[in-house]
Structure 1
Amino acid sequence: MRIYFIGIDIGTQGARVILVDQRGISIASASRSFVLDNRAREEQSPAVWWNACVELLDEILNGLAADFDKSAIQAVSVTSTSGTVIPLDVYNQPLHHAIMYSDGRSAEQGKRIQKTALRHVKDGYTGFNASSGISKMLWFMENYPQQRDGIALWVHASDYIVGKLSSVYNTTDYTNALKSGYDVADLKWPTYIIDELGLKKEWLQIVVPSGTVVGQLQEDLAIRWGLKEIEVVVGMTDGCASQVASGAVKPGDWNTTIGTTLVIKGVTRNQVIDPLGRLYSHRHPEGYWMPGGASNTGADWITIDFSSDILQWNQAAEKLIPTGKIAWPLLQEGERYPLSAPQARAIVPEQISKSELYAANLEGVACIERLAYESIEELSGEKIAAVYTAGGGSNSEVWLKIRAAVLNVPIYKCKAASGALGAAIMAASKTYYSSVTEAASYMTAIEKAIFPEIKLRAKYEAQYQQFKEKLKALNYL
């Protein structure tokens, strides 16, 4: 018997909804772009999000075949941006537009909160800045004091959609609560949030593990879509949902997504404390930790300089590797992860052809990726067992080969690693399966496995050590 789950992803530019079965096989999907104004990076209307969700669910659920068994649709969950928050009144209506994660107006509040947190939090997250939910809460209180008495609850973007589905707004999950100041180690809201920042205790949500059922689909919505009152599962941040969708959910599993930048997320048994603040840890639904960090290095250099005929460049690189050249395609000034070096600049070898530079840059990104994993192993005391990969950079066969040899671990290319799929997996994780680990094992798929080639491993080991020595000589490492 097939059981089905709905995943909803509310992004900055639009919304996506998918319907999948218990094996992660897609039954239907639909997406909508938001009509946004020039302030959309600062504020967006939650009503626009919800209207898009309703339209997409109408399209999918009312468009199913007449013989489709809608009673087998069991649960729904939501993912959205981390750090986006909304003040609600006593009727769960927004007092203000959603204040977006990308809104920089709360930078000054973020600095103050970080200083306060550092005095109170010994081994936990203190990296608050303009993109943090708690910074936006304080900014709103200080800039709209007349609205303060009307606030009944602060919620995150995915919580709002969960609330519209279930009428339950007062519950969030570990991943959303982190940047709102929740202590995911002690599992409580720190007292400094109330005593020193001035937030009220009743404004803060109940925090539960991702995958927790918080309510049932509202009766009017169930009637609208011809469903039973399916279970509504607490949401999750988009980055964590994409990690879940990649299949990297067990201790030792890691995910590298190479898009414009390189983002690394994984699972450890112990909390990873980075004194340099390069990475931070979410709390895994099963009590593990989900550390991660984002580099300024990625695949943006390909888009700018090599996008004309990517197949040609990859074919040329296949014949040139290993190049023995030390390169680092850092387009902007400074690197934040895996090394904190605001003075860092790109490394471009002298007297090199464009084809060689392309191949050497692929190797350079792989070296940055390995450096990141080395730092994670040092900080956690745990070994990297496998790397799951997604993003546009994972589509290059030669790059996959280079990365597997440089990292010296298997690389698994994900078939689909969308936030919406991650939300669907969370919907299934405690309603049909026993855990997110079990759900991901059945609902994710590996498109291909790439193992380190013996003939490349030794050469890349030497090249990687030269790469590190170069960074040390430049005082970057």
Structure 2
Amino acid sequence: MYLGIDIGTSSVKIVLVDDREAPAASAEVPLGPSRPRPSWSEDDPDRWWDAVATGLDRMRAEHPAVLARTDAIGLSGQMHGALLLDGADRPVRPAILWNDGRAAAQARDLAGRHPELAATAGVRPMPGFTGPLLAWLRGHEPDAVGRARHLLLPKDWVRLKLTGERATDPSDAAGTWLFDQGARAWSPALGAACGADPAWLPRIVESTAVSGTLRADLAARWGMRPGLPVAGGGGDTAVGGVGIGAVEPGTGFVSLGTSGQVFLASDRHAPPADPTVQGFCHALPDRWCRVAALLNGASPLAAAARWTGRPDVATLLAEVEAGFSGPSALLALPYLAGERTPHDDPDARGALLGLTAATTPAEIAQAVMEAVAFSLADGLAALAPARRPAALGFIGGGARSRLWGRMIASVLDVPLERHAGGARGPAFGAARLARLAATGGDARDVAVPPPIADVVAPEARLADAYAPRLEAFRSLYAALKGEFARPA
């Protein structure tokens, strides 16, 4: 049995799979970051650990026999962000998350002063990356920086709690703007540019390597064997690639969770031509990836449910599905938290065009879903401008909606393959990394595509109908870009 733990933005997901990768037990515990100021996003790291412990306590109560057979643990987590610890391994302040925009000025300054470092980092500096956030903290919270002795990423805080070890892996370190993608090591030049003390940085272990072992007291709490290996794990995007088998060059997927990604695997580090595309380390040795990173995935639809007073996203989706016949009369922008690919615009915001007195909640929700599909099309155009993939996997919570898949497949003009267990995403990939760490097996035998449950093919009628709407979407952003940047 192999246990995968994913520290997401909106929840912690835990999955236990057997040797045939069949699910044996699972748990999900909700999370919710705070927004103390506009464009800020923070969370208390203790809430991540409490959610993990709660989920495993629940699994122990419900499935004690199968949990006791766990052979290894793998980790995945939200990327970027900044968590500073003091000498007692306690946070000096709340963790700043990936969708935080406060370091926009620092990112612009780093890009202007150090354009040569983008190739090393795999992307130009953006707000929400660890390096620019450290630069912001040095300027605005010097007392917190003065108390800092260690820097960790979200999943690595959970590792510290599980094992007592401070470590990270290349795929998660890749998102810090402190890491040399080609060398798979911390970059002294990037660290110096951002003001990162080298003594803060955790050791690097490959995602498939053993990073530490489970503490005896926790093993007793959950009925596991003492000394279970804990894999290096990885950033959620790359670990999602391991879970879906997107590890060979040219394979890829669309992920629709809180954020969104279009992902393509590679066997070499090649800085992307578009500076808003990320060229990062994969969660397997000798593998890299290119990623169009969207700050706004399925989260705008959750916001639409709140706006319209619906009790949950499922209720709103059912209303959309019941009345869907083609493109919405409304046009939306989904940029509730700014956007990375292709705009690198932390000031971008959401918008709705075409409202009338008769507009329904379903029409608003459909326009938001279409806006996310258009945003993914922009990401794919930046990621692979010359050659469209033959097919892409489709993972994340948003992949449960076949209607959303129809919209995205038709807008991208790419078939989307939904794999068995695809909604488990990075948690399942983390379980695969646990297996590799425990067995020393060949990743080519483990990180394979799961069985395809179904394929959502592009529909010519929808593709033709959405083509002019995509151009209108792009025009709407261009028209409002200057307004977004105006001070409130």
TM-score range, shorter chain: 0.7 to 0.9
Q: Contact 2:330–2:354 (CA<8 Å) still a contact in 1?
A: yes
Closer, same or farther in 2 for the Cα pair 1:188/1:116, shift >3 Å? farther
Q: Contact 1:295–1:338 (CA<8 Å) still a contact in 2?
A: no
CA distance in 2, matches of 1:148, 1:295: 27
Q: Contact 1:328–1:365 (CA<8 Å) still a contact in 2?
A: no
Q: Contact 1:86–1:98 (CA<8 Å) still a contact in 2?
A: yes
- Of the three residues 212, 229, 232, the one matched with 2:230 is 232
Q: Which residue of 2 aligns with 1:156?
A: 153
Give how far 1:169 is off: 0.6
- Of the three residues 230, 246, 252, the one matched with 2:250 is 252
Code of the aligned partner of 1:447: A
Give how far 1:384 is off: 1.1
**Are 2:392 and 1:387 aligned?**
yes
Code of the aligned partner of 2:80: G
Report the TM-score when normalising by structure 1: 0.76
Q: Contact 1:252–1:383 (CA<8 Å) still a contact in 2?
A: no
Give how far 1:252 is off: 2.6
Q: Contact 2:67–2:224 (CA<8 Å) still a contact in 1?
A: no
Question: Which structure 2 residue ranges, 5 or more long, are not aligned?
Answer: 480-488
Q: Which residue of 2 aligns with 1:373?
A: 380
Closer, same or farther in 2 for the Cα pair 1:437/1:371, shift >3 Å? farther
Q: Residues 1-40 of structure 1: matches in 2 within 5 Å? A: 4-12=1-9, 14-33=11-30
Q: Which one has the largest radius of gyration?
A: 1
CA distance in 1, matches of 2:322, 2:435: 42
Q: Which residue of 1 aligns with 2:418?
A: 413
- Of the three residues 82, 93, 104, the one matched with 1:97 is 93
Q: Which residue of 1 aligns with 2:485?
A: none
Closer, same or farther in 2 for the Cα pair 1:98/1:69, shift >3 Å? closer
Code of the aligned partner of 1:450: V
**Are 2:332 and 1:329 aligned?**
yes
**Are 2:118 and 1:115 aligned?**
no
CA distance in 2, matches of 1:113, 1:185: 20
Q: Contact 2:331–2:473 (CA<8 Å) still a contact in 1?
A: no
Give how far 1:21 is off: 1.7
The secondary structure found in structure 2 opposite 1:73 is: coil
CA distance in 1, matches of 2:456, 2:31: 38
Give how far 1:421 is off: 2.5
CA distance in 2, matches of 1:363, 1:43: 28
CA distance in 2, matches of 1:346, 1:186: 45
144-153 vs 281-290, greater mean Cα deviation: 144-153
CA distance in 1, matches of 2:368, 2:59: 43
CA distance in 2, matches of 1:136, 1:340: 16
Q: Which residue of 1 aligns with 2:321?
A: 314
Code of the aligned partner of 2:163: S
CA distance in 1, matches of 2:104, 2:167: 27
Q: Which residue of 1 aligns with 2:58?
A: 59
CA distance in 2, matches of 1:208, 1:368: 34
- Of the three residues 123, 127, 134, the one matched with 2:124 is 127
**Are 2:425 and 1:422 aligned?**
no
**1:221-274: CA deviations, max 9, x gaps?**
334434141111113223433444444443333322346765322323455644
241-250 vs 154-163, greater mean Cα deviation: 241-250
**1:415-471: CA deviations, max 9, x gaps?**
3234433322222234347355543437x454322345xxx44x5665566567767
Give how far 1:118 is off: 1.7
**Are 2:446 and 1:439 aligned?**
yes
Q: Which residue of 2 aligns with 1:293?
A: 293
CA distance in 2, matches of 1:163, 1:363: 41
Code of the aligned partner of 2:58: E
The secondary structure found in structure 1 opposite 2:428 is: helix
CA distance in 2, matches of 1:28, 1:470: 46
Give how far 1:283 is off: 1.1
Give how far 1:214 is off: 1.3
**Are 2:455 and 1:449 aligned?**
yes
Give how far 1:114 is off: 3.4
Code of the aligned partner of 1:427: A
Identity within the alignment, %: 21
Code of the aligned partner of 1:266: L
CA distance in 1, matches of 2:31, 2:374: 38
Closer, same or farther in 2 for the Cα pair 1:424/1:328, shift >3 Å? same
Question: Which structure 1 residue ranges, 5 or more long, are not aligned?
Answer: none
CA distance in 1, matches of 2:477, 2:3: 50
Number of residue pairs matched by the alignment: 459
Q: Contact 1:128–1:179 (CA<8 Å) still a contact in 2?
A: no
Q: Contact 2:43–2:96 (CA<8 Å) still a contact in 1?
A: yes
Q: Contact 2:131–2:194 (CA<8 Å) still a contact in 1?
A: no
Give how far 1:182 is off: 0.6
